[in-house]
Amino acid sequence: MATEETLARVAPCRSFDLSEDAGLPPLPGTPASDQADAPALACRLWELLEAASHNRIPAPARRGDTSLPDGFDAIMTSAAEFEVMPGIALADVLWTRSAPYWNGEIAYRLFDKRGAAGDAAVPGAVLLFAQGAGRRAALLGHAQPFVVAEAILGSFDVPGPYLVLVVCEVDPLGKARALRGYAQPILNGQHFMPVASGFERDVFQALIALQAKLDAHGLECTVSRTLSPAGPGQDIEIAVEHENGERLVLHAVLCPDDGAKGGGRKDQAAPFIVTPRRFADGSFLAWLEGELVAVPGAKGESVERPGD
């Protein structure tokens, strides 16, 4: 939970509506990108990840050794910017472990918050790191599966790990009840970067390997992707900065369609179109190496695919 000091520094100002999604749920296995309208809970999760800068992977020298708790700490800090109801900060009704659900902490706090909401029912949420997820449960590794009453939406054809945002309420008996959730595949437990496929995971893993190599030469490389309430974008920015102030910014576009073309050397401003084929055959990495020649200290630096 966020501290009172944190809440005092950041006044809640952005709505984080946890009400039930409108319309019928998509068919099982339907990717979020193929849905006419993304589930409202997905939009809330994307907003929270963007606020916590989880669409950005800083240079190793600036991020240090990141961990699962670090990722959740950033989210809890950003949660102070949102409110689930007027006067009720998201940070006060958001948990990142399942234990408070089972031991009664969630039920007690949500019931206690009714006074600040004019005796109206206050919703809460649990954000869980899950190794797997399905339509009814998030699989939490060593802990028991976290089951919801209605459904968990998401792209389950993409392997875990996931961040699963679950809406909770207090039932008439005073117990917490998990209603529904949304599962977002992420890069890994160190980086909560949202991904839409195993292909995207491989691309970002390769860019993290590039960051480490450039860091050894005193070069800072920051990787980011666009992220909005509409979902993860396909645009990637790769910014490389030398200690002398010289900076190179490269742009790439993730495209699951192998038929897509683009990214030639004729137009330096055009982004490189990264498809599964162009990643697997080394074209993307060769393009990166060619562009990095312009950065002092990076000439001749090679980039490897994950597993090479």
Task: For residue range 136-158, list pLDDT tens digits in order.
Answer: 999 998 889 999 999 999 989 99
Whether 225 and 95 share a structural domain: no
| Structure confidence at residue 207 as a pLDDT band (50, 70, 90) | very high
Q: For residue 175, is it within any domain?
A: yes
Split at pLDDT 50, 70, 90, the class of 179 is very high
pLDDT at residue 178, rounded to an integer: 97
Region 262-273 average pLDDT: 63
Q: Can you tell me the mean pLDDT for 87-92?
A: 95
Domain count, the chain: 2
Residue 95: inside a domain, yes or no? yes
The pLDDT-based confidence of 20 (bands split at 50, 70, 90) is confident
Same domain, residue pair 47 and 130: yes
Q: Grade residue 307 by pLDDT with cuts at 50, 70 and 90.
A: low
Does residue 75 sit within a domain? yes
Would residue 97 count as lying in a domain? Answer: yes
- The pLDDT, as a whole number, for residue 306 is 54
**Do both 213 and 234 map to the same domain?**
yes
CB contact at 8 A, 210 and 219: no
Can you give the pLDDT at residue 260? 61
**Does some domain include residue 306?**
no
Q: Based on the domain organization, do 29 and 173 belong to the same domain? A: yes
Residue 118 pLDDT level (bands cut at 50, 70, 90): low
pLDDT at 304 over 60: no
Q: 56 in a domain, yes or no? A: yes
Strand ordering across the sheet containing 94-95: 94-95, 124-130, 162-170, 176-185, 152-154
Q: Is the pLDDT of residue 203 over 50?
A: yes
Co-location of 161 and 288 in the same domain:
no
pLDDT the model gives residue 261: 59
Indicate if 180 and 41 belong to the same structural domain.
yes
Neighbours of 188 (CB within 10 A): 18
Residue 298 in domain = no
Q: In angstroms, rounded to a whole number, what is the distance separating the alpha carbons of residues 188 and 205?
A: 10
Q: Is the pLDDT of residue 114 over 50?
A: yes
Residue-number span of the structural domain to which 55 is assigned: 4-185
Name the nearest CA neighbour of 32 among 138, 182, 166.
182
Q: Does 300 fall in a domain?
A: no
- My answer on whether 164 and 65 are in the same domain is yes
Please tell me whether residues 287 and 144 are part of one structural domain.
no
Which of 39-48, 95-104, 107-116, 161-170 has the weakest average pLDDT?
107-116
Q: Are residues 136 and 256 in the same domain?
A: no
Contact criterion met (CB below 8 Å) for 162 and 185: yes
Same-domain check for residues 76 and 212: no
225 and 277 co-located in one domain: yes
Whether residue 172 is found in the same domain as residue 31: yes
Give the confidence band of 35 by pLDDT, cuts at 50, 70, 90: very low
